[in-house]
Amino acid sequence: MRELFRKRWVKAMACILVIFSIGLVGYYIFSAGYGDGLEATMDEAGVDESEPVFSGLLDYGGNYQASLAMGIIGFIVTLLAVYLLARLLRKNEA
Amino acid sequence: MHIPDGLMAPAVAALGWAAAIVVLALTVKVLNRKLDDRQITLMAVLAAGIFVAQMLNFPIGGGTTGHLLGAALATIILGPFAGILIITTILIIQALVFGDGGLTALGLNILNMAVIGSLVAWAFYRAMRGRQEKVAVFVAAFASVFTVALVAAAELAISHSMSAGVYGIAGEIAFPAMAVYHLFIGIGEAIITSGVVLYIGQVSPGMLKLHKPTWAVKPKEVGVDA
pLDDT recorded at residue B196: 95
C-alpha dihedral, A71 to A75 to A76 to A77, nearest 10°: 90
Name every chain A residue with its beta carbon within 8 A of the beta carbon of B96. Answer: 54, 56-57
pLDDT recorded at residue A5: 57
Q: By the 8 A CB rule, do B77 and B200 touch?
A: yes
Whether complex ipTM tops 0.90? yes
SS3 B177: helix
- Sorted by where each begins, the domain ranges of chain A are 3-49+63-93
pLDDT recorded at residue A6: 65
Domains by residue range for chain B, with CATH: 10-221 (1.10.1760.20)
B120-178 pLDDT, tens digit each: 999 999 999 887 889 999 999 999 999 999 999 999 999 999 999 999 999 999 999 99
Query: Measured between alpha carbons, how far is B81 from A70 in angstroms, rounded to an integer?
Result: 28
By CB atoms closer than 10 A (0-12, 13-18, 19+), residue A35 is middle
Q: CA of B177, closest CA in chain A: separation in Å?
A: 6
pLDDT recorded at residue B184: 97
Which of A42, A57, A89 best tests the B interface by mutation, with the highest count of B CBs <10 A?
A89
Name every chain A residue with its beta carbon within 8 A of the beta carbon of B85. Answer: 82, 85-86
Q: Which of B2, B41, B65 sits opposite A9 (nearest CB)?
A: B41
Question: Would you tell me which residues 138-177 of chain B have a C-beta closer than 8 angstroms to some C-beta of chain A?
Answer: 149, 152-153, 156, 169-170, 173-174, 177
Q: CA of B141, closest CA in chain A: separation in Å?
A: 17
Average pLDDT along chain B, 226 residues, taken 10 residues at a time: 96 98 93 81 95 97 94 95 97 97 97 98 93 92 98 98 96 97 98 94 74 46 39
Within a 10 A sphere around the Cβ of B132, how many other Cβ atoms?
12
Name every chain B residue with its beta carbon within 8 A of the beta carbon of A57. Answer: 96-99
Query: Measured between alpha carbons, how far is A75 from A61 in angstroms, rounded to an integer?
Result: 15
Chain A: residue whose CA lies nearest to B152:
A38
Nearest one of B70, B64, B23 to B45, comparing CA atoms: B70
Name every chain B residue with its beta carbon within 8 A of the beta carbon of A30. Answer: 58-59, 65
